[in-house]
Structure 1
């Protein structure tokens, strides 16, 4: 996990809604199965079936197992070490975000999965960047050869159903979408065996130029 993620459940109705949603998925849970004293998310992720978790951060202030600046190339210790990496809002805070993505690729083992949920629109000033569909589709899929397992946007307040985001390549205006509320982009990609060097990363709007 990139950074240690916290549980932000401020509205009082969110906890029972989550417990009911888990029950519909066959997971019986109480608040003690969801929350932990330090507000981080490991208890919740363990409850819903995630594997053993380790975190990487640029300092040890929040107790991450690995300390590394994602803006710098990773060490050999981390290469191909993980079969799943979750980015719940870290990469947009790394100035050299391209290096951060290259590090994720390097840390994943073959067939490893990368899950990202970051700000897509309406997050002005939150991080260095807001992420559009060209990152999952043109970088992870077209350049690195990953399989796309799913890509959606959804509103910050969860008022509307998630919106599927298809490959923007070949569209006249690429991946342009308009929203009236702050949005997250959530995508899941899987690393495949790669014999060739990564292809040049070209934004979808300019592929045919």
Structure 2
């Protein structure tokens, strides 16, 4: 678990829109991979005012401290947090709270305690993800935010699971959370040199991303969601990809479900339903057009979502 250069910049982008304050829970102690000067530079670029007068603590690991990298305490307090609680199943990194996210019951002393919860590489290592998500909901105050960073593709055996962005959007929409951001991050193993591309998952290609449609890069999902006054954790979502096809009665509250309207292809199929030969020709034409469009789009942009920026 850690806050990389890219993750720090994504957190600052969120802080520029909705400043951080109050109490934060981090799932695991966060390793920091940059200096305070780096953080200050990114903050100045994004118009974020860091908290002044924060004591500068070096990284816990001497070989990283030698590079000028600082502690999670320094970074989180600089971002505006006044109380920091680290939660882990093991105390090998000296956390404040020992707690197994797999178990069903949330400790009462953690309920409703936090303004922000950071899951920056933990939940994929938890086997019982529904229990873990319920814990985060209970620990969060109304109006509080959860920041997620999940591996999504080409991360074999990194954790128990890789999480698709639809998991985030469908679950939190069904449970009446406000979804502020869902981004897909695309990068190579040498990302410190080549950078990381950020795509807006909430602005998808209408034809979606077919199986095998991505390239050989590594993909992560970054998301920010906010608990509302009527948010829950117990609603089990249906995948919006399918509810959009089941019709209006089965549409979920997710972003993909909102687009469950008849397409021109659907209208063409309906119009040719009485003529099998014509219908087959129309179906072939639809498939050919979609293939051509995907090919051109993949040549122009390897990811079928809106490119936002590149981070280094």
State TM-score, norm by structure 2: 0.56
The 2-side partners of 1:187 and 1:195 are apart by: 17
The 2-side partners of 1:109 and 1:44 are apart by: 22
- Structure 1 residue runs of 4 or more that deviate by more than 4 Å after TM superposition: 14-19, 26-29, 32-35, 171-177, 195-198
Q: What's the CA shift string for 1:78-105, capped at 9, x where partnerless?
A: 2222121000100000011121111111
Aligned length: 201
The runs of 5 or more residues in structure 1 that have no matched partner are none
Structure of greater relative contact order (alpha carbons < 8 Å, 6+ residues apart): 1
Indicate conservation of the 8 Å contact 2:175/2:231, yes or no. Answer: no
Match of 1:36 in 2: 59
1:123 deviates by: 1.1
Out of 178, 201, 204, which is 2:240 matched to?
Answer: 204
1:72 deviates by: 0.7
Out of 41, 65, 68, which is 2:99 matched to?
Answer: 68
Match of 2:185 in 1: 154
Larger radius of gyration: 2
1:205 deviates by: 2.2
1:1-209 aligned at under 5 Å gives the runs 1-8=26-33, 18-24=39-45, 25=47, 33=56, 35-38=58-61, 40-73=71-104, 74-141=106-173, 143-156=174-187, 157=191, 159-166=195-202, 178-194=214-230, 198-207=234-243, 208-209=245-246
The 2-side partners of 1:96 and 1:126 are apart by: 16
1:200 deviates by: 3.2
The 3 A distance-change label for structure 1 pair 93 and 160 is: closer
The runs of 5 or more residues in structure 2 that have no matched partner are 1-25, 62-69, 247-312
The 2-side partners of 1:195 and 1:33 are apart by: 38
Query: Which of the pair is proportionally richer in helix?
Result: 2
